Amino acid sequence: MSSSNEPGERLQKVLSRAGVASRRHVESLIAAGRIRVNGEVVTELGTRVDISSDVVELDRKVLQLDVDRRYVLFHKPTGIVTSLSDDKGRPDLTQVLDEIGERLFSVGRLDFDSSGLLILTNDGEAANILAHPSFGVEKTYRVSVQGAVSNKTLGTLTTGVELEDGVIHADEVKRLDDPRGGTTLLDITLHSGKNRVVRRMCAAVGHPVNTLQRRRFGPFHLGGLKPGQWRDFTDQERHQLATLVQLATEAASSGENR
């Protein structure tokens, strides 16, 4: 945080540009003691901040103020690889990135034959925290599997399934339809980032996957996006992500200092 004669930008200007509030409304937020910079309540209207280093909070929620950082929700259809090229010549992310107009990379991956929510960004720190299993960000997949899944099998998926690379367990499994049919629809939530883990878990308990769609990635939802559609994060979603990143960073730092 800078004083009025030091580098940085006025807090009102920064928050207005990021879509948090108008400059006049920011002044009322400051007067009400609702804005903090680096943990301290702001009291001066002329406060200047550096968005590359200062942490700004509104009502104790971290704000994402760097408008150069891009975050996109994309409904990946089946039949696309989540990279910019493919040695097998399959369709990749090039077309959607041409539409977006910016070179972004995907957070984690979705298999060629899977669909659903894919986050695209140019923010490497946020991407790492969202994708790395050590940070515990949950993902929910809607999965159609072969056969009738019993209550016992639901329990096995949550207590742990032995795979070739170790035991994996889902954080939550919900059965969404009558298990007496030829297929069963499940919502499987987990934070593992291992390759094809949901497909391998289901196959290991005797219920191979027919279709798989990621519906949720942390606090971000697929919503009404249709296959092939994309949209930028809302301001609220940008700030949700900033808060998530800050909390994860603080947790990692406290763990290292123990």
106 Cα distance to chain centroid: 11
Amino acid identity of residue 241, one-letter, is L
53 class by beta-carbon count within 10 Å (0-12 exposed, 13-18 middle, 19+ buried) = exposed
Closest CA to 218 of 233, 197, 199: 233
Sequence-distant (6+) residues with CB within 8 A of 90 are 79, 80, 81, 112
Cβ contact 1:44 at 8 Å: no
% helix, strand, coil for the chain, step of 5: 30, 25, 45
DSSP-assigned states of every residue in 83-97: SS--TT----THHHH
Handedness of CA 123, 129, 131, 137 (dihedral sign): negative
Active site residue 54: no
The Cα-based distances of 241 to 35, 69, 103, 237 in angstroms read 18, 12, 20, 6
Please give the angle made by the CA atoms of 12, 70 and 142, to the nearest 5 degrees: 125
Which among 50, 54, 92, 111 is annotated as catalytic? 111
> Where in the sequence numbering do the catalytic residues fall?
111
